[in-house]
Structure 1
Amino acid sequence: MFSPVCYLREQDIIPDTMAPLRVGFVPEHFSTPIHFAQKYYGLDAQLIPFPSGTGHMITALRAGEIDIGIGLTEGWVAALGRTEEGDGGYRLVGTYVETPLCWAISTGAKRPEITSVDSLNGSKIGVSRIGSGSYVMGYVLADQQNWLLPTAAAGTTAESASPYSDFVVLNTFAKLREAVNSGEADFFMWEHFTSKRYYDSGEIRRIGEIYTPWSSWKIVASTALVSEDGSLDARVEDLMEKLNQGIKHFNENHEEAVEYISTALDYSAEDAKEWLKTVRFPERTQGVDLEVVNKTVSLLRKAGVLFNGKGMQPDAMVAKQR
């Protein structure tokens, strides 16, 4: 029997280099310029939300499920710094937020035994994933509080030198809140304004805060989009130009930003207005300041998350410098 052959026209074949990028992002207030870039400036990308954060995006990048990630500096750097084999899956290519991030330190609403940050030494810390920002910042907090064991600087693993009795992996913000109320975890850290409404409702209790000692958000690209000479796929360059336009729109239209954050996202208008006073996006997202990466690596080594002579070095993490 004759079997017809289906011939594709040339215009029906879309090469991979022409396909829209799959962009991972955290669906929080910080994503507002991304929304504006797509709504007003023709950002041609498949936006994929990762409410559980940077650690989940790292897994997705390495699995080839997304092409771009927009997430927290410490998560990106820590994962590359612990890469002993392979190419790490991605490189730092852009800067998304210039200001530090305020991590709120939270416990359960009815945990009277937890009175302050000082009482957290040796406790159970809830994290979204191992390697995520919430995990890495646990060590930064321990460093600031002088809880780190002397062995942390001697080449042992971060886990064996941990000032905490356990890292409880909970994946989502909702499960983190549940865990500190049930006793499964004693505390966790999450961005201040995302946590605030749950303080206001009485679901969780704030016991402190900690700021990142570096600019808080970076853009990374899959190594498949980075040439050996460091040049980027044209779609990545176009993405960052569109983000620049989205940021400009954000800066010039704060009332629209507040309306979007307070209706499409999980924040009050009052909190959105307060957040606007604290955040600064770059005029140009292209490139990463190598000194920021050096500073991040240096502190993570001091905290026992990374170790001298092991893993990827800072200059190798950055494909596009400022």
Structure 2
Amino acid sequence: MLSPVCYLREQDIMPPLRIGFVPEHFSTPIHFANKRFGLNAELTPFPSGTGHMITALRAGEIDVGIGLTEGWVAGLGREDTPKADDGGYKLVGTYVETPLCWAISTGASRPEIRNVDSLKSSKIGVSRIGSGSYVMGYVLADERSWLIPTSGVCTSSESASPYTKTVVLNTFENLRKAVNSGEADFFMWEHFTSKKYYDSGEIRKVGEIYTPWSSWKIVASTKLVSGDGEEKKVDPRVEELFGKLNQGIKYFNEHQDEAVQYISTELDYSEEDAREWLKTVKFPEDTRGVDLNVIEKTIGVLRDAGVLVTGKGMRAEEMIATSR
């Protein structure tokens, strides 16, 4: 009698993707994709945000990252982007369509900081250099006309810095402590993540700023991208990821009460805040691909803000592996 032949699909023998994500309310569709639809992945939380995921991608510690648009673009667009591995990652998908509201926070007992204008020439706290909290500090400065050109020409974030010091603090908890101790004067973090600490009186809100772009993108290690120009292809596991995320988003949209239950019990939010957040966020029906116009706009704003330098770093089309 002949022995049966066992046929294995490619995804059965390939290791699961190692996916980095920020463990906040925005991660709820990822939770549903994993719990309800069998997402084949090792999920690794990065509470310190996008800048930390960039480091992990370049070190080969994760394969995919789901994080903030401005962080990914700044990481690839800066003139000191590592060239040997082509930046270490490429933009492959869109996770959130709506802008992000960054709350601007200071310590509870900092009477000298009255409003946003009081923050010019102050100490800004950031999670990491290159993170969204770092990048948005320059976007804020650009909006407020605080940038300080060197020799009349604004050529980089260092020459244009309107802050006396940039304090790297890694975690949201450290940022909150720093503005109360005086180590930093203010920091920027997502509104609903910050709100609980306004309500408790630990920190105080002095303003807010919205990103002028859709706020979350998906990136993949360059090791998972093959081909050049418009012929780039991504690993089949990444294509499968898009499908699972699409299912998770659809379930999220159709089961809002379950989403609120998860956010208010497993994450650090009240039920009231979870329901308010749901009114502000829109996930795409299809996560696959990135709009070139969105990345070009992001680059333009970051150049105006002095984060990126015209003529240096990657162009928008070089950052994208999968277009919409």
TM-score between both structures, scaled by the size of structure 2 = 0.93
Tell me, what secondary structure is at the counterpart of 1:190? strand
1:19 is the counterpart of 2:15: yes
- Measure the CA separation in 1 of the matches of 2:198 and 2:157: 31
Counting matched residue pairs gives 312
The residue number in structure 1 matching 2:83 is 85
Q: Runs of 5+ in structure 2 lacking a partner?
A: 1-5
Which amino acid is the alignment partner of residue 263 of structure 2? I
Q: Runs of 5+ in structure 1 lacking a partner?
A: 1-9
1:236 is the counterpart of 2:241: no
Structure-to-structure mapping, 1:277-296, within 5 angstroms: 277-296=279-298
Q: CA deviation at 1:156?
A: 3.8
Please list the CA deviations of residues 49-105 of structure 1 after superposition, one character each: whole Å capped at 9, or x if unmatched. Answer: 000000000000000000000000000000100126230000000000000000000
- Measure the CA separation in 1 of the matches of 2:16 and 2:152: 44
The residue number in structure 2 matching 1:47 is 43
Q: Which moved more, 1:266-275 or 1:160-169?
A: 160-169
- Measure the CA separation in 2 of the matches of 1:189 and 1:17: 43
The residue number in structure 2 matching 1:198 is 197
Tell me, what secondary structure is at the counterpart of 1:151? coil
Structure-to-structure mapping, 1:1-322, within 5 angstroms: 18-82=14-78, 83=81, 85-86=83-84, 87-151=86-150, 154=153, 156-228=155-227, 229-322=231-324
Which amino acid is the alignment partner of residue 66 of structure 1? I
Q: CA deviation at 1:160?
A: 2.6
Q: Which moved more, 1:269-278 or 1:228-237?
A: 228-237
Which amino acid is the alignment partner of residue 222 of structure 1? S
- Measure the CA separation in 2 of the matches of 1:144 and 1:152: 21
Q: CA deviation at 1:159?
A: 1.6
Please list the CA deviations of residues 117-156 of structure 1 after superposition, one character each: whole Å capped at 9, or x if unmatched. Answer: 0010000000000000000000000011111123398364
- Measure the CA separation in 2 of the matches of 1:15 and 1:201: 47
- Contact kept? 1:78, 1:305, Cα under 8 Å: yes
Q: CA deviation at 1:46?
A: 0.2
- Contact kept? 2:149, 2:159, Cα under 8 Å: no
- Measure the CA separation in 2 of the matches of 1:152 and 1:114: 30
TM-score between both structures, scaled by the size of structure 1 = 0.94
- Identity, % of aligned pairs? 74
Q: Which moved more, 1:15-24 or 1:45-54?
A: 15-24
| Deviation >2 Å, runs of 4+ | 14-17, 150-157
User: CA distance change for structure 1 residues 152 and 50 in 2, over 3 Å: closer, same or farther?
Assistant: farther
- Measure the CA separation in 2 of the matches of 1:247 and 1:110: 41
